[in-house]
Amino acid sequence: MKRTALPLLVFSSAILLCGVCGGATRPRYGGTLRIAIRGVMNGLNPAAIENSDAARFVPLVFDSLVAEDDRGNLQPRLARSWTSDPTFRRWQFWLRSDVKFHDGELLTPQIAVSSLANVVAGCKSSALGDSVVFQCDAPRPELGAQLAAPATAISRRSAANKLEGTGPFLISDWQPGKRVVFTAFEDSWAGRPYLDSIELTLGQDYRDQQLALQLGRTDLVEVPAGQAAAEAKVSTSQPVDVITLTFSGNPSVADERVRHALSLGIDRDTIASVLLQGQALPATGLLPNWVAGYEFLFAEQHDQARARQLRAEARTPTPITLAVATGDPELRLIAERIALNARDVGFNVQLTADAQRADTVLVKISLSSANPQVALANVAAALHRPTLQFRDSSLEAAYESEHNLLSGYWVVPVVHLPHRWALSPRVRDWADRRDGQWRLDDVWLDAALPGEARP
């Protein structure tokens, strides 16, 4: 990204000196990055994020106080520095002084406080000089990492009631459920991005995405687990989604032995290695090992004999309904195999689309953070469990919370999935991040399409 006029001058001189070089070998400004996804978005409000797709694109328009690298370490964004007291009850963030919203309004601590007023539960925020202070009613060792999440990005309403951000791009066109165009923000505090714009096509199924990539009509598409992407570079994160069964309180699954038997009956290794072609990992914990490192403590072996014994002891002849979203072919495939595994140990499992009445639901949850405590808090929120409280920032505190979430087999992990994306050859400086998050500020395109401006 462009930082000052001097680097730009040096960069321009280098381009001129390299005029005899063949092709673009250095970053260039300009061009439109074209992205296609299967999901849809009807809004991009950080405080009301609809789904994981919206969370992915929020950082293009809205900045957070801090950011996480793909190892969970905090990095400065709108806040240039921060600190907490030894009890993790008081946090203070000092803001940059040169940050402008897209409409030209300067960021102030008062605006940041207003934006975060109803976002951080259990903490009161206030402005103090050029800083924002959080005073919490309980220890919040994960607060710093929580403030790196898209849901806590800073926004403000303009006089025209438009939601404004400070990010590297602004929204120039929005067709709900169909198309979004992001345009580079020239006055970004971090410098103008290389790309002129990003064009996002919504609601495009996986097959159409692959065809568009092969025909050169798009630059970045999704690749679901178990599917190949021919003749394209594939970017793969560490496993950042967890597929779980979550049980209701219905009579057919009220006995813990039933839930335990279903868990023992799932052949996770086969689902990961065969059904998903080795592009997933068996899950016995909610957090994969790369995040927390203790998943082996929740080891649950595939044991059909023990599962049949528990089922017989529980005496539950009633059919068990398993709900799965009809629009997610990946989840549907996994649900069908789980139902087959369950029948192998004596259960009558029927698939349904009615999650409200189902005995168990198969869900995909994005961890959305490399910080174990924030990742667990995201899982608990997705499962509509009470907000987690951590006594300190240790892994032991995270383990205790995860152990409590898994107790009683009300939540049964199945597999961990990575995020996979196929890229066209013209996409340069793409960062393969372990946490699956994007940083498009420094991405550039080494060739222009017909009709696009060249440098």
Q: What letter does residue 275 receive in the DSSP assignment?
A: I
Query: Please, what is the average pLDDT of the chain?
Result: 89
The gap from C-alpha 435 to its chain's centroid, in whole angstroms, comes to 8
> Is pLDDT larger for residue 327 or for residue 22?
327
Neighbours of 126 (CB within 10 A): 12
According to DSSP, the residues that pair with 126 across neighbouring strands are 133
pTM of the model as a whole: 0.85
Q: What pLDDT does 328 receive?
A: 82
pLDDT in tens, 406-447: 999 999 999 999 999 999 999 999 988 888 888 898 899 987
Its sign, for the CA torsion 165, 169, 170, 173, is: negative
* Residue type at position 198: I
Query: Would you place residue 52 in the very low, low, confident or very high pLDDT band (cuts 50, 70, 90)?
Result: confident
- The closest alpha carbon to 420, from 275, 288, 228, belongs to 228
Task: Decide which of 451 and 219 is more confident.
Answer: 219
pLDDT in tens, 295-326: 999 988 899 999 999 999 998 768 999 999 87
- C-beta of residue 405 within 8 angstroms of C-beta of residue 378: no
Q: Where are the alpha helices (DSSP H) in 86-128?
A: 109-116
Q: And the tokens for 444?
A: 């550039």
The backbone region for 254, taken as left when phi is positive above 0, alpha when psi lies in -120 to 50, beta otherwise, is: alpha
- What is the per-residue pLDDT for 454? 52
Task: Give CA–CA dist 79/123, Å, rounded.
Answer: 18
Q: For residue range 342-393, list pLDDT tens digits in order.
A: 999 999 999 999 999 999 999 999 988 889 999 999 899 889 888 888 888 8
What is the rounded distance in angstroms from the CA atom of residue 359 to the CA atom of residue 147? 35
pLDDT of the residue at 19? 37
* Element containing residue 53 per DSSP (H, E): helix 52-61
Residue scoring higher pLDDT (2 or 324)? 324
For 53-57, 194-198, 409-413, 422-426, which range has the lowest pLDDT when averaged over its residues?
Answer: 53-57
- In this prediction, residue 224 has a pLDDT band, given cuts at 50, 70 and 90, of confident
Q: CA distances (Å), 343 to each of 154, 248, 316, 363, 452, in order?
A: 49, 20, 13, 20, 57
Tell me the three state secondary structure of residue 380.
helix
DSSP class of 48: G
Which residues does 316 contact at the CB level (< 8 Å), separation at least 6?
A: 252, 253, 255, 258
3-state secondary structure (DSSP) of residue 440: helix
Average pLDDT over residues 219-234: 83
Answer yes or no: are the C-beta atoms of 149 and 58 closer than 8 Å: no
CATH topology of domain 1-8+26-59+167-219+424-455: D-Maltodextrin-Binding Protein; domain 2 (3.40.190)
Tell me the three state secondary structure of residue 419: strand
**108-166, pLDDT tens digit by residue?**
999 999 999 888 888 999 999 999 999 999 999 999 999 999 989 999 999 888 999 99
* Residue 274 CA from chain centroid, whole number: 25
CA distances from 115 to 46, 66, 79, 286, 383 (A): 10, 15, 14, 31, 26
Assigned superfamily of 239-418: Dipeptide-binding Protein; Domain 3 (3.10.105.10)
Is the model's pLDDT at 55 over the cut of 90? no
Q: Is the pLDDT of residue 5 over 60?
A: no
For residue 331, give the DSSP letter: H
What is residue 23's predicted lDDT score, i.e. its pLDDT? 44
Contact yes or no for 335/351 (Cβ under 8 A): yes
**Can you give the residue ranges of every domain in the chain?**
1-8+26-59+167-219+424-455, 63-157, 239-418
Q: What is the pLDDT of residue 448?
A: 65
Nearest C-alpha neighbor of 377 from the set 394, 390, 363: 390
Q: Is the model more confident about 44 or about 444?
A: 444
* Chain segment 15-34, per-residue pLDDT in tens: 333 433 334 468 899 999 99
Q: What is the pLDDT of residue 453?
A: 56
pLDDT at 450: 61
Interval 250-276: pLDDT, tens? 999 999 999 999 999 999 999 999 999
Quick check: 79 pLDDT over 70?
yes
CB 133 within 8 A of CB 90: yes
User: DSSP assignment of 156-215, as one string?
Assistant: EE-TTS-EE--SSEEEEEEETTTEEEEEE-TT-TT---S-SEEEEE-S--HHHHHHHHHT
For residue 44, the model assigns a pLDDT of: 87
Class of domain 63-157: alpha beta
